[in-house]
Structure 1
Amino acid sequence: MQLKPDPVSPTTLQMRHVAVLGAGAWGNALAIAASANSSTMMWARNAGLIGEIQSTGLNARYLPGIKLPESLVCTSEFEHAINHATTGPCPGLLILGVPLAGLRQICLEISKSLKQSGRKIAGIIWTCKGLDAESGQLPSEIARQALSELPEIAIGVLSGPSFALEVAQNLPVALTIASTDAALREACIQTFHGGTIRVYASSDVIGVEIGGALKNIIAIACGISDGLGLGTNARAALITRGLAEIRRFGEALGAQASTFFGLTGLGDLVLTATGDLSRNRQVGLAIGKGQSLDEVLAQGLTAEGARCAKAVLIRANQLGVDLPITRAVCDVLYHHVTPRLAVSQLLARDATSE
């Protein structure tokens, strides 16, 4: 359920130490945001990238044109970043800005480091979205499994309708931190809330993750529709019925229905399905205009929705949940069904009650 931010007492307002693991667009944008309120360090495996950032003050590869704050420290030394998050005046945060494919490995490395040192943190928060293509697991399932030797560590997901570039540009944004641990929610709010950023709290981790995963698939469908020139009526129908799919799938996995009418459900879906910065929408647009998925990927355009669509459909079938839009997207992306035929098949479905 959605919660109000807990009151923060003056004694807890200390300079928290935060380590952001991952220097892609989203990790870097969050590192910029966190540095306004916290002592922040950003880590990446790529020493060359970190060297460029340190020498120029820019992450030209992922956030071109954005000057990084002088207070943001960068490193390619993993233990240096972990030490930073565990040596502040209050328990620090680890923010994982890595893609879903790298979540398991980074959690295993964190677990090994913290177990060997005995150091403590307030918790671990990730930002990646989707279902794992091989296991069909949600990020929370992957993280908890990888951190099984440290079951006491609080975990959560930070999500919501946001493009990394706009966050880095200090434009207004509202995010949701979802965790079953109240102290972790409060720590995240202290780290990011303020100025142009509002952070809302939720205990529904599964609901927030499902909203973040499936909205990307629906955004591809909307992009395909727009690429075909089917009009704004069609896009509105896909968004609305797509939200119904997201809710059905989420409830089958134990999520709360109310979550899908908030920031990480409807809000994130509208942004991703209509925003020009949405990679998922851009993939759909290209396919709707006649390109194949392979051709789109060859151009360097990637999208989370394309990667997780098959995993979502497999898990939905196991649960007995009908996801017609997701199935249509999979047919177009992977089964050589033309976009127009997929649309025709959706339109030919029997009428039902809303």
Structure 2
Amino acid sequence: MGKLTILGGGRWGTALGLHLSKKGFEIIFFDRNSAVVESLRKGKDAYWGMEFAKNPRATNVLDEAIEFSDLIVIALPVQVIRGVLEKPNLRGKVVVSASKGLEVGTSKRVSQIVQELCRDCKTFVLSGPSFAEEVAKGLPCAVVLAGKDLDTLKELRGVFHSETFRVYLSEDTVGVELGGALKNVIAIACGISDGLGFGDNARASLITRGLAEIVRIGSSLGGKKETFYGLSGLGDLVLTSTSSKSRNRTFGFLLGQGLSVEEAEARIGQVVEGKETVKAVKKLTEELKIYAPISWAVYQVVVENIPPEQVARDLLLRPPQREFEYL
């Protein structure tokens, strides 16, 4: 696997490309943005001005990117993935999803979308607490790589793993994907709380009860409970819910400060995955009758445009619950 294709020249795709170029891989990027493609062709990323160790190729012709390598890394916004992958021939490819979220309408995980479009692909998932800028700079982080084919999984670990990018393995694709998707919704809730000035105690409570909610939803959908206490669950949840670098937390913070959804999105200027994922979560939890009060509260603010102050008050006035459901 000396060559690989990265679908998406955004911050995360670029960060992975910078990391992998240091390891000597030949890379081609696919992106629809001509300015991003041109910047990548010059050997520099479009976000931090960093140079690639090995100049990548870049194209806005999807077939060219797909034909370049048998290893495809997806770093696209979740809601566009189906549209991008519908037409190209992916038969026999190894596909690694590095995107976090659920598809609105179907509530499917990315690996499910890929398998639906290409049953002959080997599909894997990369997730965990990993801000793009820090990965691009080579700062230390740890992530999880999940999949069912153990031989290929171990081979892929060799592709991604380095001294500063530690890769742990898991067979729980469902849990790893759901942890990465669901934490974005809780991070929005934490941002709203911070924007309302509720303080550190409230944020800690939301993270803890949010994790319980993630476990409840994720295990109901087939993920292993222990996965949600690992890097792709708790690790990513803590990072995304507490840092000002987090798009989802920042989006929530701006909503808590009184901005509209449209104003908050415009201020951030990037895709906020949790904004869409919460729609899929609402649909799933209602269909499966899963108790998810924090996610529902985020849905009320983001989709139904109910004032954050009112939603927060309703959330706080709920009858007290048992901390652990088995008591």
Whether TM-score is above 0.5 comes out as: yes
How far the C-alpha of 1:45 sits from its partner, in A, is 3.2
1:277-296 equivalent positions in 2, closer than 5 A: 277-296=245-264
Match in the other structure for 2:115: 144
Cα deviation per residue 1:244-269 (whole Å; 9 max; x = unaligned)? 00000001111100000000000000
Return the alpha-carbon distance in structure 1 between the equivalents of residues 276 and 35 of structure 2: 28
**Is 1:345 the equivalent of 2:323?**
no
Match in the other structure for 2:85: 107
Return the alpha-carbon distance in structure 2 between the equivalents of residues 169 and 190 of structure 1: 20
Conservation of the 8 A alpha-carbon contact between 1:155 and 1:184: no
Match in the other structure for 1:34: 20
**Is 1:247 the equivalent of 2:215?**
yes
Conservation of the 8 A alpha-carbon contact between 1:18 and 1:34: no
How far the C-alpha of 1:108 sits from its partner, in A, is 2.6
Q: Aligned to 2:10, which of 15, 21, 24?
A: 24
Match in the other structure for 2:59: 75
Return the alpha-carbon distance in structure 1 between the equivalents of residues 108 and 67 of structure 2: 30
SS of residue matched to 1:35:
helix
1:265-344 equivalent positions in 2, closer than 5 A: 265-299=233-267, 300=269, 302-344=271-313
**Is 1:129 the equivalent of 2:113?**
no
SS of residue matched to 1:20:
strand
Return the alpha-carbon distance in structure 1 between the equivalents of residues 321 and 8 of structure 2: 45
Match in the other structure for 2:134: 166
Return the alpha-carbon distance in structure 2 between the equivalents of residues 158 and 231 of structure 1: 33
Q: Structure 1 residues 301 and 155 mapped into 2: Cα distance closer, same or farther (>3 Å)?
A: closer
One-letter identity of the residue aligned with 1:220: I
Q: Structure 1 residues 287 and 80 mapped into 2: Cα distance closer, same or farther (>3 Å)?
A: same
One-letter identity of the residue aligned with 1:43: F
Return the alpha-carbon distance in structure 2 between the equivalents of residues 135 and 271 of structure 1: 28
Cα deviation per residue 1:109-128 (whole Å; 9 max; x = unaligned)? 34x2x45xxxx44x101111
Q: Structure 1 residues 107 and 336 mapped into 2: Cα distance closer, same or farther (>3 Å)?
A: closer
CA RMSD of aligned residues (A): 1.7
How far the C-alpha of 1:275 sits from its partner, in A, is 1.1
Return the alpha-carbon distance in structure 1 between the equivalents of residues 17 and 234 of structure 2: 26
How far the C-alpha of 1:223 sits from its partner, in A, is 0.5
Return the alpha-carbon distance in structure 2 between the equivalents of residues 70 and 153 of structure 1: 28
1:178-189 equivalent positions in 2, closer than 5 A: 178-189=146-157
How far the C-alpha of 1:136 sits from its partner, in A, is 1.7
SS of residue matched to 1:109:
coil
**Is 1:96 the equivalent of 2:74?**
yes
Return the alpha-carbon distance in structure 1 between the equivalents of residues 304 and 66 of structure 2: 44
Q: Aligned to 1:205, which of 148, 151, 173?
A: 173
SS of residue matched to 1:245:
helix
Bigger Rg, which one? 1
Structure 2, unpaired ranges of 5+: none
Length-normalised TM-score, structure 1: 0.86
How far the C-alpha of 1:301 sits from its partner, in A, is 5.0
Structure 1, unpaired ranges of 5+: 1-14, 87-92
Match in the other structure for 1:58: 44
Q: Structure 1 residues 21 and 301 mapped into 2: Cα distance closer, same or farther (>3 Å)?
A: closer
Return the alpha-carbon distance in structure 2 between the equivalents of residues 75 and 133 of structure 1: 28
Q: Structure 1 residues 107 and 182 mapped into 2: Cα distance closer, same or farther (>3 Å)?
A: farther
Length-normalised TM-score, structure 2: 0.93
